[in-house]
Structure 1
Amino acid sequence: MTPPRSANILMPPPRPSHHRPRLDRLSAEGPAGWRRLFTEAPAVTPEDFARLEGDLVMRTFPAGGAVLSRVMARPTYFWTGKSFRHTDERTAFGHNFFRSLGGLRTLNFVATLGDSVIDGITTVRLDYSDPRVGTPRPARHIYDELRAIEPDLWLGPSLLRTRSKQVSMGWFALDGSIPFEDAA
């Protein structure tokens, strides 16, 4: 029997399938397209947020650099996903997972619903600075947001918080429809 997705976050991260058509299509949008898709997406409800659970495959879209974008788009790229585990209808604890070192889970965050810094509409906010998760100091300045742009397809900006502003590091997407392969 396969464990439920929420139980999977306690195990080493599985290997995502190389077949990722929605992420491949989304990667071609570019910064203006990602922003448009994010701002046109509906506000996130508690019911939407509850579906953001377990291990989800991730693709990052950096703020600049075509070479870096091509490297990060490869299915073999080391940063493969994010995990979420809900504690109630408005809070989830999570982390990023990497293919490195046999499957590393790190860069913890607290996910909550709140107003977006992009447009003020309700979004999922990923806070790496929350003291409950113990994220290392440099990563505490990261702040991410997410909205569902299609069923089980989430998109959002990744920002670096400074004392006076928030600087875009790019965008990322999570696809809950991508299956995971056996590690064997």
Structure 2
Amino acid sequence: MTPTPLSADGLMPVRAPSGHRPRLDALSRAGLAEFGGLFASAPDVTARDFARLDGDVTMRSFPGSGERVLGPVMSRPSYFWVAKSFRHVAGGIALGHNAFRLLGGMRALNFVATVGDSVIDGRPAVLFDYDDPRAGSRRPARRIYDELREIEPDLWLGPSYFLARGKRFPMGWFALDASVPFDGPA
């Protein structure tokens, strides 16, 4: 696989995903109560599945608390958190970051992603390590932990946690839809 090209300073411009996101809209309507079952029933992630997560992939967040207030705001196409980006390197590892529509577009919250055993059920999932030294994240971002499984072709769903005092505290869920095209600059 050819790694996703990056500019000399390691950052790509942030692009805006299309506002047409029917599968992410359907997940928003399904609600948080459905997400645990969808994640649990998804097939085990393989290295081949993981390799398809490449470049910018449109994202939607689903808050764990304050869903009534935050949910409608986060489901808007104009919401500031637009994507996760992956660049595969050797050994089944992807370096990545989150893309935001802030200040004309910025990339932050770096992570190292691999396929490994889920802390939730022990089955293979994509694991996001924000504390890996290769990510170069700063606190408090280093306390984030995410997992992801493909629930439909090119539609991924997973929980997000905040790590503190040796425990994982649920923050909510997020989904990535690799079928959503990008329209242009953020």
* Same fold, judged at TM 0.5 (above): yes
**Secondary structure class of the residue paired with 1:6:** coil
DSSP 3-state at the match of 2:45? coil
Identical columns (%): 61
Q: Partner residue of 2:59?
A: 58
5 Å matches for 1:95-174? 95-174=97-176
- Contact kept? 1:107, 1:139, Cα under 8 Å: yes
SS in 1 for 2:26: helix
Q: Distance in 1 between matches of 2:3 and 2:31?
A: 31
Alignment of 1:68-83 (within 5 A): 68-83=70-85
Q: Which residue pairs with 2:4 in the alignment?
A: 6
Aligned to 1:12, what secondary structure does the other structure show?
coil
**Aligned 8 A contact 2:3 2:88 in 1:** no
What residue number does 2:20 align with?
A: 19
Who is 2:87 aligned against? Answer: 85
Measured against aligned partners, the alpha-carbon deviations of 1:156-179 in whole angstroms (never above 9, x if no partner) come to 000111223111000000000001
Tell me which residue corresponds to 1:28.
29
Q: Secondary structure at the match of 1:28?
A: helix
How many residue pairs match? The answer is 181
Give the SS at the match of 2:132. Answer: coil
Q: Which amino acid aligns with 2:23?
A: R
Distance in 2 between the 1:145 and 1:178 partners? 21
Secondary structure class of the residue paired with 1:131: coil
Contact kept in structure 1, 2:14 and 2:185, CA below 8 Å: no
Separation of aligned partners in 2, 1:103 and 1:177: 21
RMSD: 1.7
In 2, Cα distance between equivalents of 1:183 and 1:42: 34
Q: 1:45 matched to which residue of 2?
A: 46
Letter in 1 for 2:177: D
Give the letter for the 2:39 counterpart.
F
Q: Shift in Å at residue 30 of structure 1? A: 1.9
Cα distance 1:8–1:149, how it changes in 2: closer, same or farther (>3 A)? farther
Unmatched 5+ residue regions in structure 2? none
* Residue-by-residue CA offset, 1:115-161 (whole Å, 9 max, x unaligned): 11111100000010011111111110000001001111110000111
Q: TM-score, normalised by structure 1?
A: 0.93
What amino acid maps onto 2:37 in structure 1?
R
Deviation, 1:90, is 1.7
Partners of 1:61 and 1:72 within 8 A in 2: yes
CA distance in 1, matches of 2:133, 2:178: 28
For residues 130 and 82 of structure 1, the distance between their equivalents in structure 2, rounded to whole angstroms, comes to: 17
